[in-house]
Amino acid sequence: MKNRYTITSALPYANGPLHIGHIAGAYLPADIYVRYLRSRNKDVLYICGSDEHGAAITLRAKKEGTTPQAIVDKYHGINKKAFNDFGIDFDIYHRTSDPLHHKTAQDFFLKLEEKKSFVKKTAEQFYDEENKQFLADRYIQGTCPKCAYEAAYGDQCEKCGSALSPKDLINPKSTISGNKPVLKETSHWYLPMQDHEEWLREWINNGVLDGKKLHDPSQWKNQVIGQCNSWIDGGLHERAMTRDLNWGVKVPLKDGDGKVLYVWLDAPIGYISATKAWAEKEGKDWKAYWQNDDTQLIHFIGKDNIVFHAIIFPILLKQHGDFILPENVPANAFLNLEGDKISTSRNWAVWLPEYLEEFPGKQDELRYVLTSLAPESRDSEFTWKDYQTRINNELLSIYGNFINRALVLTHKYYNGVLPECGDYSSEDEIVVNEMNSFAEKVGALIERYRFKEAQNEMMNLARLGNKYLADNEPWKLVKTDEERVKVIMKLALEISAKLSIISAPFLPHTAVELQEMLNLKELNWDNYSDELMPVGHQINKAHLLFTKVEDELVAMQVEKLQKSKILKQVPLKEKAVINFDDFTKLDIRIGDIIEAKKVPKTNKLIELKVKVGENVRTVVSGIAEHYSAEELPGKKVSILINLEPRKIKGILSEGMILMAENSEGKLAMISPDNEAIESGSVVR
């Protein structure tokens, strides 16, 4: 173990509140780890903050008629408070809109520029005048100059496979607006990631950099190594580190006008600027946490962030030259909810601020459940029923109940003061030995990022306590052997005290409460083997640590979830008003599907032959996930027939089948409800 740790949790994007999936994935595991290390008296810095840049926030501001700053201010406030109330113990919760961050990111960028880590390229790039933005290669389509395929992309023709540049395309179009884009000159700084493949492969797979062993790759998750190798083996490419945007960290160069740093360059540097902000306040040296070989850097993230933390950011850190690389990137998978993926847009989530409001004082209950169900190596699922079961049958029955019986008996027999007593019996010594082994067992599991297992091991100490009481039955012995009862109660309380230490990383609020009841203060991991309950020690009044989760509560939460899901289905903003002439431009007819077959090498596409009056048209439609090719022939559908024909996967599509889509993405055909409507009938 090293002595200094820099722990980060992914910066939450400041355009929405946090839900239990975020917590289980990146924040709770890190918090457990951090609390453990602090208890071991390590020098630990735990940092996080809001990620406030990027195009998504500007788009949202535009939509809501407000400013990006107003959006990020709102969610920064909400999330900071939620983390604090829940008990995620950051040293600092910073934000990337802070001037200190802008300065830090710009300095970092300049250093890389100075080291010639970037390749600057000036090029004429297509620009969408309607949306006022430059278009990435993939956002442009046109006719391939080599094979005349009409839907080739700006970077490659899917038909003939030739690599293209957008300007090669004949008749280019913006895929966003459909308009013809204009050429405008712009320049960007690119990171040539392909130059870094060799050392990355060695560093990720063997933990070795420049001949030095930096980490043990067997401690990295399969998922992380697998995904990195997949990227590296597929060949890394240069990636633009700047964007034409006006929201973000300005490119600090003369020719950087109107450009900002790419959000994935900017955000991880947020970890560094947060450290600086903290160090400034605390009078510490921030460099110790980032530029010292005796410091371990660990990034806790969700699986969607793997490449950024395990490939791109390490390249940047190494290029800069002064920084250490992450020792591990323990990425978690995703948490599902009641049989369905958590979805912000469908409002299918348990929101942290709402939980905190509806379940005051029940942070540790949620922590316990989320750690039990944590998606450490694959996706897992949270249900309210599970929440109830885990709390009632484990946390309350095993932990809460053991503490309660130990304290209640002590009060009953000795008014809460430990009496003078004899030595442990030889059977007691076995229990004592077992008890003493827990600190190391639990610690070792936490150090290997096995939080679920670690928590269960912690619970085994409470189980040991329950078994000790059941085996020794002090409530019976009290009538025959009072001296023996004193020893038993002392050991039971000793177990309780030790439980307060090893449960603290998982259940910090409970641990404090328990230590108050036991009249103990400021215990940490290193106190574990001390005698914590000496003769004469007075304990405080006992109260219950947990309350039962009732069936009604579970039912209520499930119902609330279902209801809020429906609420989200209210129609989106209406589009601009059109006149009748506009409407009559659409030629919509009823058609009969006479033939259907799946388009090879695609998941969603079906090629249809639709008979409209006397004509038969070919239409390619993205409905294969909702209809099989076999069930389609014979169906009547509405079809827009005067839509400009377009080639899709090499097939000319002459029209568009009208479909209704609900909030879950389910599709249904718009069909006449009357057999008298024959093929070719006009829809209006």
Partner RNA sequence: GGCGAGGUAGCUCAGCUGGUUAGAGCGCAUGAUUCAUAAUCAUGAGGUCGGCGGUUCAAGCCCGCCUCUCGCUACCA
Pick between residue 153 and residue 262 the one whose CB is nearest to RNA: 153
Pick between residue 291 and residue 397 the one whose CB is nearest to RNA: 397
Pick between residue 93 and residue 264 the one whose CB is nearest to RNA: 264
Angle between helices 401-414 and 451-472 (to 10 degrees): 40
H-type alpha helices, 14-173: 20-22, 28-39, 55-64, 68-86, 99-114
Pick between residue 268 and residue 465 the one whose CB is nearest to RNA: 465
Instruction: Tell me if 135 sits within 8 A of 174, measured CB to CB.
Output: yes
Count CA atoms within 13 Å of residue 564 on its CB side: 16
C-alpha 84/C-alpha 23 separation (Å) is 13
C-alpha 451/C-alpha 505 separation (Å) is 10
CB of 341 to RNA, least distance (A): 5
Pick between residue 98 and residue 365 the one whose CB is nearest to RNA: 365
Residue located via tokens 């000496």: 534
CA-based nearest residue to 679, from 621, 594, 618: 594
Pick between residue 279 and residue 396 the one whose CB is nearest to RNA: 396
Quickly count: other Cβ atoms within 10 Å of residue 681's Cβ: 18
CB of 233 to RNA, least distance (A): 7
Number of H helices, E strands in the chain: 22, 29
Q: Between the CA of residue 370 and those of 24, 389, 601, what are the distances in Å?
A: 6, 13, 39
Instruction: Tell me if 641 sits within 8 A of 585, measured CB to CB.
Output: no
Pick between residue 112 and residue 620 the one whose CB is nearest to RNA: 620
Element (H, E) at 497: helix 482-502
Instruction: Tell me if 517 sits within 8 A of 496, measured CB to CB.
Output: no
C-alpha 548/C-alpha 421 separation (Å) is 36
Pick between residue 621 and residue 681 the one whose CB is nearest to RNA: 621
Pick between residue 275 and residue 410 the one whose CB is nearest to RNA: 410
Instruction: Tell me if 330 sits within 8 A of 298, measured CB to CB.
Output: yes
CB of 542 to RNA, least distance (A): 9
Determine how β-strand 152-153 pairs with β-strand 140-143.
antiparallel
CB of 538 to RNA, least distance (A): 19
